[in-house]
Structure 1
């Protein structure tokens, strides 16, 4: 009788299955599907904390297995692994947040799941194409750069500018290959960070408060990160290619962590001054499109180690 109730039209579990099925199916749509894939951790994170987590996990695995069977007939199963990794990341976010783990654990554990899936893709994909994972990475970057050059060649640019872009292709390809590990790690961390931030706000509106995620504006990077930041910057200037390659990637990832700390300080300032949502969004948009502003925010996060900007904001607030 209980099984029949689960499959009845008014069953909450059936509605849960439909929601997850629609979200996963939308993730496979070209172009727009990327948005659904990126926000899949958010959807499952929120569902797990509003509904029974075990039911969400079971529903997710049922839909995932069904999609695996369907896509196996089309000889394309890799998308299922991408869905599995991002979905499990969201469920892991919910599990760690529910147990009040630190924000670092809530972000890093799901990030490792997705990073592991990326590594698996390049190993498995390289084996399928009889090439090394690094060669597969070079292939993808080369194709991406070439497609962008084709787009630029269609723009109303001077012939000299188009030729300059085409001539710079090998340099651009090598540059992106060199920093690709950092780009991958930063992209994953940023995706999980945004999902956690948005999920916390959505849950707060539903009356679910997660103490560690609610205090993101108070977050600061560990003090020992400064030594990794300095070491990465120093190694990037060495003449040995492999050491320099390692150094620049370490430096970029550490810089991104300080950018997150800078954003936390900006968020604290907005909250303390009660800045309107419109101006907050406008400033965040400016950060996204202006690299110099992004670098300035990262510098604020870095120098916060010694200055403690939030302490000064609290003093100003107390005097008023």
Structure 2
């Protein structure tokens, strides 16, 4: 009986994976949201049953996508999404905490992205990262030409400088993307899990988020590498390290801001509007970053609770 139930659930979740992935390919805009849901079905199969059931469902889903969308899309589904779901499911089933699940999951997500780049080069002879950068550069060029006189203040050199920075920070962008999709899958998995009786490790409220003190030294190290690197490889390391740590500290700064806003504003929508406005302003976002840095040392929220 138990084997029959696992087979039925495996078939259902495999079909769900196919629907989500094909939807992410063919549905514009909304498909991007569906792509983040693709690892969830096999993740729940591994948690509810075991690794074998989850893996077999992922293979079946990959074969169906192979029939409908071709080899390349099938590889993306398995390597880019199903493998992450299987790995995170194993970690949740074995009782790991949320830090280990997100950290190790982000590492697997990053490796899967690099593997996809390698497989794309092998199968199609194209580098998807360079292709994306070329499209981005063309878009910037078209926008600049459409602006005409309005874009003269920007200058072509500004566009070239921006593209050069983007090219140098590709490693940081990949790391942040891996952290984001792993974190999002964990949050969505926790939310769905509560409704279907699957337990995930407890996760702190957003207002309580706090990075370890070692991250502060990594942030200062990035500044040192930028100062000493000039235009060398050391400078590029510092630039990527700074982008990753700066984004993380800005998120912590937002958590601190949200903690204090909760004391004076009850409506979540109003708090969200204020936070979005602050983040979108370059000066304020810089202040948030340094607020996150100093909060790592002084823990402003703990000081307020003591008072």
Work out whether the TM-score is over 0.5. Answer: yes
Which range moves more in the overlay, 177-186 or 99-108? Answer: 99-108
Gaps of at least 5 residues in structure 2 are: none
Gaps of at least 5 residues in structure 1 are: none
1:142 to 124, 128, 134: 134
2:72 maps to 78
2:224 maps to 234
1:170 maps to 160
Contact 2:84 2:105 (C-alpha < 8 Å) held by counterparts: yes
Distance 1:153 1:53, change over 3 A: farther
Contact 1:82 1:117 (C-alpha < 8 Å) held by counterparts: no
Give the TM-score taking structure 2 as reference length: 0.80
Please say if 1:25 is aligned against 2:22.
Answer: yes
Aligned residues: 303
1:90 maps to 85
For 2:19 and 2:303, locate their aligned partners in 1 and report how far apart those are by CA, in whole Å: 48
For 1:35 and 1:258, locate their aligned partners in 2 and report how far apart those are by CA, in whole Å: 25
Q: Where in structure 2 are the equivalents of 1:115-194 lying within 5 Å?
A: 115-127=110-122, 137-151=129-143, 153-154=145-146, 157-159=147-149, 161=151, 164-194=154-184
Aligned to 2:266, the other structure's residue is in SS state: coil
For 1:298 and 1:102, locate their aligned partners in 2 and report how far apart those are by CA, in whole Å: 26
Q: CA deviation at 1:234?
A: 1.0
Distance 1:207 1:129, change over 3 A: closer
For 1:215 and 1:246, locate their aligned partners in 2 and report how far apart those are by CA, in whole Å: 32
Q: CA deviation at 1:111?
A: 1.5
Q: CA deviation at 1:288?
A: 5.3
Could you give the per-residue CA deviations for residues 67-107 of structure 1, whole angstroms, max 9, x where no partner exists?
234444xxxx3333332222322332233234332333111
Distance 1:3 1:195, change over 3 A: closer
Aligned to 2:203, the other structure's residue is in SS state: helix
For 2:5 and 2:193, locate their aligned partners in 1 and report how far apart those are by CA, in whole Å: 28
Q: Where in structure 2 are the equivalents of 1:1-320 lying within 5 Å?
A: 11-29=8-26, 31-32=28-29, 33-42=31-40, 44-45=42-43, 49=47, 51-54=48-51, 55-72=53-70, 77-84=71-78, 85-127=80-122, 137-151=129-143, 153-154=145-146, 157-159=147-149, 161=151, 164-204=154-194, 208=198, 210-214=200-204, 217-237=207-227, 238-266=229-257, 268-269=259-260, 275-286=266-277, 289-316=280-307
